[in-house]
Amino acid sequence: MKSSYREALRAGIRDAMQRDPRVFLMGEDVGAYGGSFAVSLGLLEEFGPGRIRDTPLSESGFVGAGIGAALGGMRPIVEIMTVNFSLLALDQIVNNAASLLHMSGGQFHVPLVIRMSTGAGRQLGAQHSHSLEGWYAHVPGLRILVPATLEDARGMLWTALEDPDPVLIFEHGSLYNVAGELDDNAGPVDIDSAAIRRHGSDISLITYGGTLPAVLDAAEQLAGEGIDAEVLDLRTLRPLDEATILESVARTHRAVVVDEGWRSGSISAEISARITENAFFDLDAPVGRVCSAEVPIPYSKHMELAALPSVERIVAAAQEAAGARG
């Protein structure tokens, strides 16, 4: 069937609510308005205000309420409008949700799922456009998911709700309108493993989320130049599927990590370090990285595009890494 990324997310929420009466959705404008990105459109009419709950504009307050509901036996899905606004709930997410299991000596699980949009490319200004999922991937006690495909948008939610501990799902804003074919029987998917989206033998292009389309485009362009690129979609940033990353690098002997986050202290830095630590003798070239410019994301369209990873920059980084071929 035809579906957009947005519709796939909605189908995942609907499926979870039909499966388990403990599941409910809460967040700013998720009810009558249908969600800031129209993901929950129509769900209020279908499930009623008891399970589709509009909240005040207080991220700390409603994330805290979600934590309490999870501790009380419910399965809340908390929607935060953008990752930038999640910083207003950082204490609840990091000091409470991520820590309660450990601070209670294993007595209290927090089966909470938090969804939020991330990323730039839509001229929404710096307050709405940053990619901070790498920050959260630093925190023990959290699982970090970054669905890039319709199948993952549809299927990751239910698997996340089955996790007894908190899961954060980052939905790149540029993907909401992406449309394609989704199997009629699409359902829950694995959230432990990375996925090879394109097999190749010359270089591993490692990415996730909103940059996957650009990386696939770059791989096609590189193929025209005789460079056979493998594209690896991480899918989960914590815990990283290190085994699949290292297996890919062992095959191709070169790697470029594409990450919309800032280069300094980024998830790309972590992946690069792990490759260097564990696959150094498999490498025929230094690990390359393509990240966003180290500036608050600009509003101006041409400046925003200049700040973000592009197909041209990905191709150039891959060409440089592959320069020693032959």
Q: Which residues are catalytic?
A: 59, 128
Contact at 8 Å (CB) between 245 and 271?
Answer: yes
Q: How many CA atoms lie within 13 A of 272 on its CB side?
A: 18
Residue with tokens 């579906």: 3
Q: Residue 48: CB partners within 8 Å, gap ≥ 6?
A: none
- Rounded to whole angstroms, the Cα distance separating 268 from 259 reads 6
Counting other chains too, the contacts that 305-312 makes at CB distance below 8 Å and 24 or more residues apart are 305/121, 307/120, 308/120, 308/121, 308/260, 309/211, 309/214, 309/258, 309/259, 309/260, 310/214, 311/214, 311/217, 311/218, 311/221
Residue in 129, 119, 82 with CA at minimum distance from that of residue 299: 129
- Contact residues for 87 (Cβ-Cβ < 8 A; gap 6+): 132
Amino acid at 304: E
Paired strand residues for 169: 115, 145
Cβ-Cβ contacts under 8 Å for 54 (sequence gap 6 or more): 26, 27, 28, 29, 30, 31, 32, 33
The torsion angles phi and psi of 323, rounded to 5 degrees, stand at -60, -25
Length of the chain as a residue count: 326
Q: 72: which DSSP letter?
A: T
How many C-alpha atoms does 191 have within 13 Å on its Cβ side?
A: 25
